[in-house]
Amino acid sequence: MRCKYLIAVLEPRPEFHDDERLEVVDGHHYWPIGTVEDHPKAYRLVRMGIAEPDDDECRLVAAVSTQDMKAAGKQYEMVSKGIEPDDYQRYLDGEILGYDTAGNDLPGPNWKRKEDEDDEE
């Protein structure tokens, strides 16, 4: 069964580094959005919101709505960026984009410091 990637997926294994098929960003290789994969477990990627079904078999086995797939995709985006569960809502609200190397917040477009929010409460 086939699925098609909705997000770029990191490929850290050097043996798969094919510069013609993969995108290189900041020295890291990614399978680009739109990559089609034919695999018996492709439905798992669909359930995780990483990919969408690319054939009827995958669509039937995955059995998820577009809405659930989008929600799972957002969840996966946060997991893959290492966002702490306590910060999920702040990420979704655009307050943070992630963390810097010291673990401090990387401000998003709607950034608020956690302390500011605590003061408001």
Partner 1 sequence: MSKIRVKGSVLSMGITTTLVAVAQVIEFGVDGAESETFDSTTIDTSGAGKEYGLTGYSEGGSLTFGCFWDPVLASQQSVTDLVTTPATSSWSLTFADAATTVSTFSGAGVGFGFTGAMNDGLKADVSIKLTGLFAYPT
Residues with Cβ within 8 Å of 118's Cβ and at least 6 positions away in sequence, in order, are: none
CB of 41 to partner 1, least distance (A): 5
Q: What DSSP string describes 18-66?
A: -TTTSEEETTEEEEPTT-EEE-TTHHHHHHTTSEEESSHHHHHHH---H
User: Rule CB under 8 A: which of 35-64 touch partner 1?
Assistant: 37, 39, 41-42, 44-45, 47-48, 50
DSSP label of 69: H
From 99, 108, 111, 112, residue interacting with partner 1 (rule: CB under 8 A): 99
For 116, the token pair is: 């500011």
Question: Contact between 19 and partner 1 (CB under 8 A)?
Answer: no
Residue length, the chain?
Answer: 121
Question: Contact between 70 and partner 1 (CB under 8 A)?
Answer: no
Applying CB under 8 A, which residues contact partner 1? 3, 9-13, 26, 28, 31, 37, 39, 41-42, 44-45, 47-48, 50, 72, 75-76, 79-82, 84-85, 98-99, 101-103
